[in-house]
Amino acid sequence: MYGIIDGKAISQAIKDEVKAEAEKLSETGRKPCLAVILVGSDPASAVYVGNKKKACEYCGFDSVSIEMPEETTEEEVLKKIAELNSDENVDGILVQLPLPKHINEDNVILAIDPSKDVDGFHPVNVGNLLIGRDGFVSCTPAGIIELLKRSDVDIQGKECVVVGRSNIVGKPMAVLMLRENATVTVCHSRTKDLKEVTKRADILIVAIGKPRLITKEYVKDGAVVIDVGIHRTENKKLCGDVDFDDVCERTSLITPVPGGVGPMTIAMLMKNTLISFKNRTGR
């Protein structure tokens, strides 16, 4: 019999902890503040930005929403980031990705002050993560560590396989699992025999962006399976990179989609913004 890792409940607990701490710390003086830049009118991005704004409200943070039209130039975005970098009342700056094609994402990420980079995408924060120094960690992988710890999964010494090597999920995920003393293998689109590798995993973390690719043949009996993927199916339902119905009986614990990893990303964004606020105000 498998157990479900309830990302909805765990993310709610984290947001409540953040809210309580933020309330206490802002009794005198300003509140934590997150600035979000949205360029263009991608409907999915607009929903994500709206959800971030709602989470700020819930946690008692201030939020600044900067909406720029599709034809905004890279220079204009960089100028806005420079303004936010020097605004003492802003703790976190997030640029919603993807950006329109004419804007170079690397240049935009590099322009964000690393001490306000609550998404953890700036190379300074990525480097700090790699060498074990304090810094902001990408929210989705940081959220997965919280899911595992709060579900009492013992990570130390375990075989962990991460499928996917993106800068946002796969790579930081592998480093975080290494930091927790797992034995880590990273697989990707050129891995020769994916099943052979994933079947070794005590903890299998899947972030490949391919609906229901992982079936029970890829999973060892009793494994913990974390599914990062999010896809909308033909009948408008959500599914992950893991075929949940096929795999669940083989696992000891598994994250559902929706309600698994998804809600954790915003909760960790709130946590990172609170950390930045504490760093900046010395509270």
Which helix (H) or strand (E) element contains residue 239? strand 238-239
* Residue in the structure block whose two tokens are 């993310």: 11
97 scored as a contact of ligand NAD (CB under 6 A): no
Identity of the residue, 84 or 242, whose beta carbon is nearer to ligand NAD in the bound complex: 242
> Binders of ligand NAD: how many residues, by CB under 6 A?
24
For ligand NAD, the nearest residue by Cβ is 166
DSSP 8-state symbol, 31: P
Mark residues 104-143: x for contact with ligand NAD by CB under 6 A, - for none.
Answer: ------------------------------------x---
Q: Which of 119, 202, 227, 241 is catalytic?
A: 119
Question: Which residues partner with 70 through β-bridges?
Answer: none
Q: Cα–Cα–Cα angle for 149, 151, 152, nearest 5°?
A: 65
Query: E strands along 40-100, which residues?
Result: 62-68, 92-95
269 lies in the site for ligand NAD, by CB under 6 A: no
- Of the pair 48, 277, the CB lying nearest ligand NAD is at 48
Shortest Å distance, C-beta 17 to ligand NAD: 19
119 catalytic, yes or no? yes
Query: Residue 158 interacts with ligand NAD (CB under 6 A)?
Result: no
Give yes or no for a contact between 239 and 257, defined as CB atoms under 8 angstroms apart.
Answer: yes
45 lies in the site for ligand NAD, by CB under 6 A: no
Work out whether 169 is an interface residue with ligand NAD (CB under 6 A).
yes
- Do 205 and 162 meet the contact criterion of CB atoms below 8 Å apart? yes
CB of 180 to ligand NAD, least distance (A): 20
State which residue, 30 or 210, has the beta carbon closest to ligand NAD: 210
Cα–Cα distance, 4 to 147 (Å, whole number)? 11
Q: Is 70 exposed, middle or buried (0-12, 13-18, 19+ CB in 10 A)?
A: exposed
Enter the tokens of residue 148: 């595992």
Residues 224-243 interacting with ligand NAD (rule: CB under 6 A): 228-230
Q: Reduced to 3 states, what is the DSSP secondary structure of residue 192?
A: coil
Angle (nearest 5°) at CA 177 between 175 and 181: 110
Binding site for ligand NAD (CB under 6 A): 140, 163-166, 168-170, 187-189, 191, 194, 207-210, 213, 228-230, 261-262, 265
